[in-house]
Amino acid sequence: MEDQFIHIDPEQVPPSPFTQIIQGFAGVMKQNDAEKYAWQKRCEEYEKQAKKLPQTNIVAEGKQKELIAIFHALYKVGYFPEISEKDFMQRVADMLGCPGMASYSGALYNFKTTYKYDEVFDNLLKVAKAEKIG
């Protein structure tokens, strides 16, 4: 029985242009994967380091409710459409080192009913106007 395939030593066959293109893409993809893997490792390392840092509250004493109102307003305006309000406030609380801000709804309701809500935004408006003029 005769072989149906021709036996050719692959070292003697020059690669076709299509093969070279595919090999080039494969090299680019491999390099891309290597870079992505290196960045993932670096991010994991930084996350571990960040978790070791002590979380300290950077908000002035008694100003958490005001910040809840401000961040709530920023969310409602639509600056953060890709995330739920609860997740957004959790991230804000984590960022500021104020875990109490994550349970914001009760504090926000109380803040709105004591007329301090308007006062906070009036103060922000005054500061904004002063910054615009100066």
Q: What is the average per-residue pLDDT within 51-77?
A: 85
Q: Do the Cβ atoms of 71 and 88 come closer than 8 Å?
A: yes
pLDDT score of 4 more than 80: no
State what percent of residues in the chain have pLDDT above 70: 91
Give the model confidence (pLDDT) of 63-74 as tens digits. Answer: 888 999 999 999
CA distances from 124 to 63, 70, 117, 128 (A): 14, 9, 11, 6
Q: 3-state DSSP call for residue 19? A: helix
Q: Do the Cβ atoms of 134 and 95 come closer than 8 Å?
A: no
Q: What is the pTM of this model?
A: 0.57
Tokens of 122: 């009036």
Give the model confidence (pLDDT) of 90-113 as tens digits. Answer: 999 988 888 888 888 888 888 888
